[in-house]
Every structure is written in C-alpha cells, then in structure tokens.
Structure 1
Amino acid sequence: MGEAAKDQTEEVIQAWYLDNKEEDQKLPHHKDPKEFVSLDKLAELGVLCWRLDADNYETDEELKRIRESRGYSYMDLCEVCPEKLPNYEEKVKMFFEEHLHIDEEIRYCLAGSGYFDVRDLNDIWIRVWVKKGGLIVFPAGIYHRFTVDSDNYMKAMRLFVGGPVWTAYNRPHDHLPARKAYMKKFLKVIGDRNIDASA
C-alpha cells in the first residue's frame, strides 16, 4: 500500500492499544498516553485494510476488484443498531465475546462506525476503529471481538467466500486447524513455543 493510500485508509481505520478498563465497551478505551498502532502492524497480524467509496459501493470498481481477486462471492448488509437488530443489547454482548472463525471475517462499513478488537503478538488487545468507507479483513483463526461505539450504529456489508458461515468459536479454541494455521503463519508459533520468524 502506497503512503497516500495508507494515509487515506487511516482516515477511516484507526487502531490503538486498549487501556483494559472494564467500563462501557463502547468507549474508545485509549491508554494514557495514547498508543496508536499502524496499519502496517495490523498487516503483520494478518489484518488487511482498505478505504473505499461507501456512497457508491454498488458500482465501485475497486470493491469489485477486491471481491473478484479474493473470491468474495456472497454479500449481504447488516445494520447494528437498536432499531434494526432484534435483541440488540444481547447481540452486542455476544459480538463482544472473544472468538475466532474458521474462515476470514470481512466487514465493509457503509455508515456509522464500530470497534473490532484483535490481539497482538503478545496477546495484548488492539482496538481497531472502523468508520464509513473502511473495509477490513480478519484472517481465519484470529481471536477478535466487535462492538459498536457510543453512537450505537453501524451499517456493514458482510462478505464471504461461498455461502455465509456464522459459526463463532469462543476462546479458547487453539486446537482448531484454522487457529493452528494462523499461529504458524502470523504468530510464528509451533506447538507451545515461538519460532524464529527469519528461520
């Protein structure tokens, strides 16, 4: 990703280390002082980010190119807000349980905003704030969670390879092949020991 594209993407996707306070999950939870995380660091964890034209998603050639190159054949739209999502508070709590999927999780924010939290190489939480125009891809096997922010609204496009798969595996599920593959590729872990990434 070129510097100009990265700068534009950082306008709609920002990341920082969490303060780990237990108060309202919908707050930013910055550390003091704030400790931001670059898109390059997210990429090292397998998290991919783009900025796209959310106002014209139906005709956006860049979105079409990404979908074709990555095989995202299925798409639907979901609005996470009290008015549109049945059992809203219950669902938001469920989304915030730390979990993984055996396939990629792809979310494109068409309106509103929300937080996706992921773990770094040392198992420390990073909060990723995705706003309108941000497309984010989480690799299969990464532990993560989601919450809306204090605006309580996010309209997202959900993309899948083939049909939709909704199964979430709450932590711990380190025995799953998707988790083992993620650990080997991104965390450089085999069994219970770290391996030299340069080896």
Structure 2
Amino acid sequence: MVKAWFMDNNPENPCTEHHKTPPEYVSLDDLFESTAVEYFYINPDDRSKLDIIRKERGYSYEDEINCSEGCLPNFEEKLKMFYQEHLHTDEEIRYVLEGSGYFDVRDRNDKWIRIQVNRGDLIIIPSGIYHRFTLDTTRFIRTKRYFVGEPVWVAHNRPADEMESRREYLQKLENKQFTQKIY
C-alpha cells in the first residue's frame, strides 16, 4: 500500500524519506482532497484493472522508462531535472513495474507531501500541480508512462502561476470539482 507524508525542510539528499519529527502521514483520502492526486494499486500479475482505467480515461499511448544509472543516459543530470519543481499541462500517469521512488506534490497550502511508489502502484498527477520526482536510496525504478494521444512531456518550472493549466487546477481544487474514481 502506498505511503504519503508531509516532508521536513531538510534540503540534503532528496533520496531519503524526509519525514517530519514526529512523522505526519497523509491518508489517501486526504491526499486526494488536498491535491487531487489519484492512487491505485494494480496487481502486477493481473493488470485487467489497468486496462479498464486506460480505456475509461483514454490513455492511448504508452512507453516505458528505466531510471537507473546504467540505463538512463545523463543519469545525474536527469535526476536533477526530475527533482526541479515543475508542472505539466497534461496529467502525469506512471505505473511502477519494478523498483521504487518518490513523487513530491504541493498541497493546497503549498506544503510538500511525499508519496512513495513501489511495484504495482499507479499514480495520476493532475495537470497544473507543482510536483517533482526522485529515486529513493535504491536508485532504480522502471515505469510505464501513459498519455492521451501523442505524448507531451514538457516541464514548466516554478513559477508558472500564469499558465492556464495552473489556474484551472487551483480553481477546480478550490471548488472541489475533482472526482475520485473507484475501480
């Protein structure tokens, strides 16, 4: 089961857990309520639930990324880029095939929530939310990336508050217009 918690403010080694003292965990319901991030566990041995989600949400394109020192060109540069706070104009959808890592997202009060993802976890990060990604201390993750139509993966580093996707995200979050799907 996925774990999420509020992060401490220590800027050192992003690959560690960064719990506050004492730890402040965030339930999946609170995570959705404060960020609109959706999480699903998909059994790696039975991906029929994933097929249903893909069809219902229109994810027509997929690829795979292996984020490890031996497989990702310019590994250290890419990790720094992934960890830079940014947003996208489309959802970011990742299904973890192997390994583990952290997605950090800003909640409605602009506080960081760290979400640990492992094999079988599917995370859907809405467009317009500030977020970042890093590996954990294992320094390996292999994921499927899903897109509606042709892949668009452009990161807009913070500040990007003037962007339409950011304004729409904040308005929908404020007006509780996101709907949490149950599969």
Which residue of structure 2 lines up, in the alignment, with residue 102 of structure 1? 89
Structure 1 length-normalised TM: 0.86
Which residue of structure 2 lines up, in the alignment, with residue 52 of structure 1? 42
Amino acid at match of 1:151: T
Which residue of structure 2 lines up, in the alignment, with residue 33 of structure 1? 22
How far has the Cα of 1:104 moved from its partner?
Answer: 0.3
- Alpha-carbon separation, structure 1, partners of 2:69 and 2:45: 23
- Alpha-carbon separation, structure 2, partners of 1:142 and 1:173: 10
Deviations 1:24-45 (A, max 9, x none): 0000000110100010112111
Match of 1:73 among 52, 56, 60: 60
Deviations 1:38-72 (A, max 9, x none): 1011211110010002245xxx2111000000010
How far has the Cα of 1:166 moved from its partner?
Answer: 1.2
- Alpha-carbon separation, structure 1, partners of 2:173 and 2:96: 25
Match of 2:3 among 1, 6, 14: 14
What count of residue pairs does the alignment treat as equivalent? 175
SS at match of 2:109: coil
Q: Which runs of structure 2 are paired with 1:1-199 in the superposition (5 Å)?
A: 11=1, 13-44=2-33, 45-56=35-46, 60-188=47-175
- Alpha-carbon separation, structure 2, partners of 1:97 and 1:22: 12
- Alpha-carbon separation, structure 1, partners of 2:174 and 2:77: 32
Structure 2 length-normalised TM: 0.93
Which residue of structure 2 lines up, in the alignment, with residue 196 of structure 1? none
Q: Which runs of 4+ in 1 moved over 4 A?
A: none
Between 1 and 2, higher relative CO (CA 8 Å, sep ≥ 6) is seen in 2
Over alpha carbons, which structure has the higher Rg? 1
SS at match of 1:36: coil
Q: Is the 8 A contact 1:115 1:129 kept in 2?
A: yes
SS at match of 2:137: coil
Listed as ranges, the gaps of 5+ residues in structure 1 are: 1-10, 189-199
- What is the aligned-residue RMSD (CA, Å)? 1.2
